[in-house]
A and B are shown apart, each in its own frame.
Chain A
Amino acid sequence: MLNIEKKKEGSKLELVLAGRLDTTTAPELEKELKASLDGVDELVFDMASLEYISSAGLRVLLSAQKIMNKQGTMKVLHVNETIMEIFEVTGFSDILVIE
């Protein structure tokens, strides 16, 4: 139920997420990140087509942010209103760079 599209330009990695990031799909993203974050200094999540995120998804985003804090920057793009509210309620809007 989660579609992850990878775009890699040199050390920049862009992941376009579509569908639901929940307890069942979060491990997929986690696995993907684990595999492809080496040597990345700019990580971008495009959430234009992401409709759902639960705490399991938040957890993956948090660990990605922790990694990127050490090796570069991380941005989150095109967040919809519902997910934005979840980011705000949970304080993630202060942690993530959301554009």
Chain B
Amino acid sequence: MKIIRGIKLGGLQQKIFNLMLVFIVALIGVYAAVSVYQQKNLSAVVEEANYEQQSSITTVSEETMKAVLDTSMSRTTALQAYIANDLFADVQADVLTLQAFAEELFEHSEFFPAHPFFEPDAAKDGIASVQMQHEADVDPERSETLGLVANMSEIMLAMFESSDKLSSCFVATADGCILYVDDRSGSYFTESGEVVSFEVRHRPWFIRAAEEKKLIFTGVELDAFTDIPGVVCAAPVYHEGKLVAVVGADIFLTAISDYVRETASEGGFLCVVNDKGQVLFSPEQDGLFKAEPSGNAPDLRKSDNAELAAFISQALKERTGLKLIEIDGKEYYLIGAPMETLGWTVLTVVEKELTHQPTDTMLARYDEINAVAMANFEEGSRHSVQTVLVLTVIVVVLAIVGALFLAGRVVKPLEHMTKRINSLSGNNQSFEMEDSYRTGDEIEILAESFATLSKRTRNYIAQITQITAEKERIGTELALATRIQADMLPNIFPAFPERPEFDIYATMTPAKEVGGDFYDFFLIDETHLGIVIADVSGKGVPAALFMMISKILVQNSVLTGLSPAEALRTVNNQICSNNREEMFVTVWLGILDTETGKITAANAGHEYPVMLKAGEQFELVKDKHGFVIGGMDGIEYREYELTLTPGSKLFLYTDGVPEAINASNEMFGTERMLTALNSEPSATPETILKNVREAVDRFSMDAEQFDDMTMLCVEYKGAENMCKCSKELVVPAEIEKLPEVLAFIESQLDEMECPVKAQMQISVASEEVFVNIANYAYKPGSGTAAVHVMHTTDPAMAAITFIDSGTPFNPLEKDDPDISLSAEEREIGGLGIYMTKKTMDDVSYEYKDGQNRLTIIKRF
């Protein structure tokens, strides 16, 4: 694992840390998601509420405004109409009073003397006074009625002074004079200081009153002298069915227009429309509602704006409700109330936009508050986000530190334990409990378990070591025993190279390290060869020990000159005398007479021998078995004879051969054994044993060898083959004697007509062997060497044995020199023996009876 700043990447510490980090990040994620959602939600709610509030404010305000407007405007308009009507009604009443008074005057003219009258006096300007004027061609002095009506001077003066609405009041006679009251005396003079004439009977009010014979109101007329627009209320006075005078009063419209103008408040105004649909009074200076002098004003009842036309017509007849009418692209609230006296109407006009001003103001104010609130909210949000971020950072830092700390706490004992465990090696196998592991959790349990395990392991290792040592010792001893056992058996072949009359070969393959089988052969004397094959019951070390004793006892018995049967009887008695283990051994024992080929044999419970008669096939010899050796004492064994003609062979074996099994537990059997023997019956004993062995191996394949397998084969070649010309030379072991030795050997070889090449090879080999002896066997000049030369004609061969009694030394054990090296690298040593081995057919060494015996054999 990689380690950065004490934290193992991929370690438990990092894993715990990762886990906590993931948990925290997840928590923060959820928190952030919820926050964002809430923030968004809140914003949406605020926005929606804002919108709803605004629209609700607008609606409510609008409705309220409308209601308020409706009520207040209709009431105001009605009141205005009423007031305006009242104004004209007062004037009407005044005029009617004057009419009645004038009629009374004329009715009772006899009671009223002529009243003086005066022309306007410029000095009296500004003071209310009664003044007279007349038409240009009328003489007031000659008027019949002027003096009479002058009696009304006081009443008119009083009427004028008591009313603030009248600009004047008058009485005009039918003969063209007029008597009137006003305070504008100075106005009636020409530039030359004369009183201007007054065309009384041409005035519109006079004409209309005379024509209509009732009280009339003129339209808006310009005052004859002042050019101030006004309205004249006039009524005719009849006497005896004849028009005698017209009384009336002037109302300067300044009064009413002032009034109307005063009503004009911000956002609205009053206007008066007459019975012809013309605007009479209005504070408006332009537009549709501008007041125009009579005749010029358009008739609103015939306006292109149908809604307005209908409304005006309705307003002239009755009180209207609040109407919203669009005029010249602007919306107006209109309400109208008729003035009954005159047949006019009073309209209140309010621009809709203006009624919205409070709403707008309110909305603006609301928006302002809202904006501040929003700003506060956003500021708060931002602040809260910052706070959350800071908190998050703090939490993450705390979490990291905490996680590291916690993970460290958890991991530290583990790390310590790991180090401790890693340091366990060799003899330091002890893992002890330490305080740092006492964490009270699984780590402590783990440490305790490990400590226990460690203790057990140490004990176990100690045991194993002991057992292994024991096993090793036993193994070594068994290997040693195997060697000893193998060395006990004659195992150098050819065993008797100097005995051409017979050839013998044997093998033993134990199933375990040591076996219970054995074979043996030994020369009893010059012409008798003892042959033994035996099989001890059981296997392993006990069998091997028993086999040793048996082998020695049998050999000793035979060497003392006993016959096979006597020997077996003796050995049986010897073994039975002390055989508490009740082991036994089967033995076949034969003695070959090498001169005659006759074998005297006895069988103590062993397998049948197999014999090959020269030129025939191997066949079992069903001899008579005696009881096994070691089974019971006092047993007698029977002897029998076999005769081996030259070329005959005898094959002996233990039950390991026919009883070898294969994987399917089939036994090899004697039939297969005979087949194998007969596959090449004329072969040498060595080849015959090899053939059997190979046949057994082929048969048993991978099956483990179950029993010891021992075979022996002896071939009798005949006494004729025996060397009659064996000669021996004994010389001091000195180099100087080499020519003598070589001359001796060559003379022998010459005798048997040895080919020149073979003769020279034999000479070279002999020189090497003899020089070796001369140089190394003894201290210089202290010993002798015997050279024994023997040769046969069938087969044609020579065998030369060199015998010395010097230091035991087997020259054949020396490694062969490497002959592929260059001249510079070559060592000269070992070349002689190597040449000998290469050129001779057989070279064998034996240390026997204190003598080194080296034999070289050359066939030709």
Q: Which residues of A contact B (CB under 8 A)?
A: 1, 22-24, 51-56, 58-59, 62-63, 65-66, 69, 81-82, 85-86, 89-91, 94-95
Contacts and interface: CB of A to CB of B under 8 A. Distances in A.
A94 B820 contact: yes
Contacts of B756: 82
A62 B771 contact: no
Main secondary structure of the interface of A (DSSP, over half): helix
B427 interface: no
Q: Which 4 A-B pairs have the closest CB atoms?
A: A91-B819, A55-B832, A59-B828, A55-B831
Contact of B824 (A66, A85, A89): A66
A69 B542 CA distance: 65
Interface stretch (B51-59, B373-381, B760-768): B760-768
A98 to B, nearest CB: 13
Interface string B714-743: 000000000000000000000110110010
Contacts of B771: 23, 56
B838 interface: yes
Contact of B834 (A22, A59, A90): A90
Given A91-B819, A91-B820, A52 B764 contact: yes
B831 A90 contact: yes
Contacts, number: 69
Given A23-B771, A52-B760, A55-B828, 10 more contacts: A22-B738, A22-B742, A23-B735, A55-B764, A59-B831, A62-B826, A90-B831, A91-B820, A94-B820, A95-B826
Contact of B764 (A1, A63, A86, A94): A86
A86 B835 CA distance: 7
Interface of B: 735-736, 738-739, 742, 756-757, 760-761, 763-764, 767-768, 771, 819-824, 826, 828, 831-832, 834-835, 838-839
A53 B738 CA distance: 14
A43 to B, nearest CB: 13
A69 to B, nearest CB: 6
Nearest to B834: A90
Given A24-B735, A82-B757, A94-B820, A62 B764 contact: no
A24 B743 CA distance: 14
Contact of A22 (B761, B767, B838): B767
Contact of A54 (B739, B768, B838): B768
A59 to B, nearest CB: 4
30 contacts: A1-B739, A22-B767, A23-B735, A23-B738, A24-B735, A24-B739, A51-B760, A53-B764, A54-B764, A54-B767, A54-B832, A55-B764, A55-B832, A56-B771, A59-B831, A62-B828, A65-B823, A69-B823, A82-B756, A85-B839, A86-B839, A89-B838, A89-B839, A90-B831, A90-B834, A90-B838, A91-B819, A91-B821, A94-B820, A95-B826
A53 B832 CA distance: 11
Nearest to A96: B823
A62 B835 contact: no
Contacts of A90: 819, 831, 834-835, 838
Contacts of B828: 55, 58-59, 62-63
Contacts of B768: 54-55
Nearest to A60: B828
B835 A55 contact: yes
A24 B824 contact: no
Nearest to A91: B819
Contacts of A53: 764
Contacts of B738: 22-24
A82 B839 CA distance: 11
A85 B828 CA distance: 18
Contacts of A62: 823, 826, 828
Contacts of B824: 66, 69
A81 B760 contact: no
Contact of B831 (A58, A63, A66): A58
A81 to B, nearest CB: 7
Contacts of B832: 54-55
A84 B258 CA distance: 167
Given A62-B826, A95-B826, A89 B735 contact: no
Contacts of A56: 771
A66 B739 contact: no
Contact of A95 (B742, B760, B763, B822): B822
B746 to A, nearest CB: 11
Contacts of A81: 757
A95 B767 contact: no
A63 B824 CA distance: 9
Contacts of A1: 739
A81 B761 CA distance: 12
A53 B834 CA distance: 14
Contacts of A24: 735-736, 738-739
A1 B823 CA distance: 27
A26 to B, nearest CB: 11
A90 B441 CA distance: 80
A73 to B, nearest CB: 13
Contacts of B834: 89-90
A54 B763 CA distance: 9
Nearest to B760: A82
Contacts of A55: 764, 768, 828, 831-832, 835
B831 to A, nearest CB: 4
B823 A89 contact: no
Contacts of B767: 22-23, 54
Contacts of B742: 22
B757 to A, nearest CB: 5
Q: Which of A1, A22, A85, A94 has the most CB of B within 10 A?
A: A22
A14 B764 CA distance: 26
A24 B819 CA distance: 24
B856 to A, nearest CB: 14
B160 to A, nearest CB: 176
Q: Which of A55, A89, A91 has the most CB of B within 10 A?
A: A55
A54 B742 CA distance: 12
Contacts of A86: 764, 835, 839
Nearest to B766: A54
Nearest to A66: B823
B326 to A, nearest CB: 135
Nearest to A83: B760
Name, among B771, B828, B831, the residue most crowded by chain A CB atoms within 10 Å (CB to CB). Answer: B831
Contacts of A65: 823
A79 B820 CA distance: 21
A69 B826 CA distance: 13
B757 A89 contact: no
A89 B820 contact: no
Contacts of B839: 85-86, 89
Contacts of B764: 52-55, 86
A52 B828 CA distance: 18
Contacts of B826: 62, 95
B673 to A, nearest CB: 41
